[in-house]
Copies of this chain bind each other. A is one copy, B any other.
Amino acid sequence: MRNAAIIGVGCSRIGELWSKSIKDLLTESALKAMDEARVNKVDSVYVANAASNLLQGQGNLGAFTLDALGLSDIPAVRIEAACASGGLAVYNAVKDVRSGAANTVLVLGVEKMMDALPEDAMAAMMMGEDQEYTAYSGISFVGLQALMARVYTDKFEVPPEQLAAFSVNAHKNAVNNPNAQFHNEIDIDDVIRSALVADPIRMLECSSLSDGAASLVICSEEIAKNHPDSPIQVAGSAVASDFFSIADRDDFLSFKATRLAAEKAFKQANLTTREIEILEVHDSTSFTGVLALEDLGFAEKGKGAAFVADGGVDINGKYPTNTLGGLKGRGHPVGATGIYQIIDLVTQLRGKAGKNQVSDAKIGLSQNTAGLGSTVTVHILRRAV
């Protein structure tokens, strides 16, 4: 099995991009990535998106994307796995390059959530859960997470200030990311004083509705060797799943799919947590961000929030996490998020993260989650030396 590498990344900024269509956004991001990769054609395209049928009335996004880019003939596959659409698209592209089914693949994620009323965008997101048994009740994703967070904070006696620290770090890091949706710092008090969305989760702990698109060009390591910029090797790429509804699971305090995907990715990369220098975790809320740190093995179960509050995830901490803002600070354009995460890792591994640069980072890990961990992808990236 040959290795895959990333030779080009591109994205739009994230925000309320009223004047740009999904076509504008995906084209902007794809052309940037292809330009950086110095390719004008690819063997195939994966397009990640969760809700364009509902929010823009646009389906058939594979063909739509080829058309927008002036490409034709090649396969284009649209992948939907709720918030993990992006990570799952990257997984499929890496699989194709590793197996030899393709040499150069464009992976693209796009989501425009601000065109709709917030309640409609939220309903679209809840379609990532079981409609007949869960969404039907009217509960939101934050509500579902709060059920878990309530048990978690009680059992491990986690003070709200410790969970809040995750968001504080996210906003601090986003300030220096020109593509981020939020450029305002917040402190623990701001979080604790913000509105209670679903006890114990507060507004400033929740990721936002966002518009944005992000693209990668992934190719075989052989092709990457000829590229003038330092290619980033995909050392691990894994996906795992769990029973759809949390009610069916054994464990209320952990995402099994995160653990399984991490296990597979570490094995592929022949690495352990100790060697990982930077992290991108799926902080749809500060709670799931903390849970990810634990399930991935970077913090002890029940002590993830304390680790965060003690500065463990700061740029200069033990495991710098979401160094360009994560879902909370950078924004969360659902289908594109898994790809933004990888772009932010690539930016760090290339030493291009500016004021937020983690000194000499060579190896990073990203985790992308659908719903409440029904599908989780884990990628491990490594700078070719």
Contacts of A50 in B (CB 8 A): 59
Are A59's CB and B78's CB within 8 A?
A: no
Are B127's CB and A57's CB within 8 A?
A: yes
The 8 A CB mask of A147-162 against B (1 = contact, 0 = none) is: 0000000000000000
Contacts of A95 in B (CB 8 A): 96, 101
The 8 A CB mask of A20-52 against B (1 = contact, 0 = none) is: 010100000000000000000000000000110
A190 contacts partner chain B, Cβ-Cβ < 8 Å: no
A203 CB → nearest B CB, Å: 25
Contacts A95-B101, A245-B67 given; indicate if A62 touches B74 (C-beta within 8 A).
no
Q: Which of B60, B240, B243 contacts A81 (CB 8 A)?
A: B60
Are A53's CB and B124's CB within 8 A?
A: yes
A349 contacts partner chain B, Cβ-Cβ < 8 Å: no
Binds B, one of A6-14, A130-138, A307-315: A130-138
Contacts A78-B80, A80-B80, A81-B78 given; indicate if A132 touches B23 (C-beta within 8 A).
yes
A198 contacts partner chain B, Cβ-Cβ < 8 Å: no
**A89 closest partner in B (C-beta):** B77
Binds B, one of A222-230, A267-275, A324-332, A369-377: A369-377
Contacts of A164 in B (CB 8 A): none
Contacts of A381 in B (CB 8 A): none
Number of A residues with CB within 8 Å of any CB on chain B: 61
A330 and B166 CA atoms in complex are apart in Å by 55
Are B60's CB and A375's CB within 8 A?
A: yes
**A128 closest partner in B (C-beta):** B60
A365 contacts partner chain B, Cβ-Cβ < 8 Å: no
Are A77's CB and B75's CB within 8 A?
A: no
Contacts of A91 in B (CB 8 A): 75
- The A175-222 residues at the B interface (CB cut-off 8 A) are none
A50 and B60 CA atoms in complex are apart in Å by 8
Contacts A99-B100, A375-B60 given; indicate if A77 touches B92 (C-beta within 8 A).
yes
Add 12 more A-B contacts to A50-B59, A63-B81 (CB < 8 A).
A51-B59, A53-B127, A57-B123, A60-B81, A60-B244, A63-B371, A67-B245, A74-B240, A78-B81, A79-B79, A98-B101, A101-B101
**Residues of A in contact with B (beta carbons under 8 Å apart):** 21, 23, 50-51, 53-54, 56-64, 66-67, 72-82, 88, 91-92, 95-96, 98-101, 123-124, 127-132, 135, 239-245, 248, 256-257, 260, 370-371, 374-375
The 7 A-B residue pairs with the shortest CB-CB distance, nearest first, are A99-B99, A67-B244, A63-B374, A59-B127, A60-B82, A60-B128, A57-B131
Q: Pick 15 A–B contacts, CB within 8 A, sort by A.
A: A59-B82, A62-B81, A63-B242, A63-B371, A66-B241, A66-B244, A73-B240, A73-B241, A73-B242, A75-B240, A76-B81, A78-B81, A79-B79, A98-B101, A99-B99
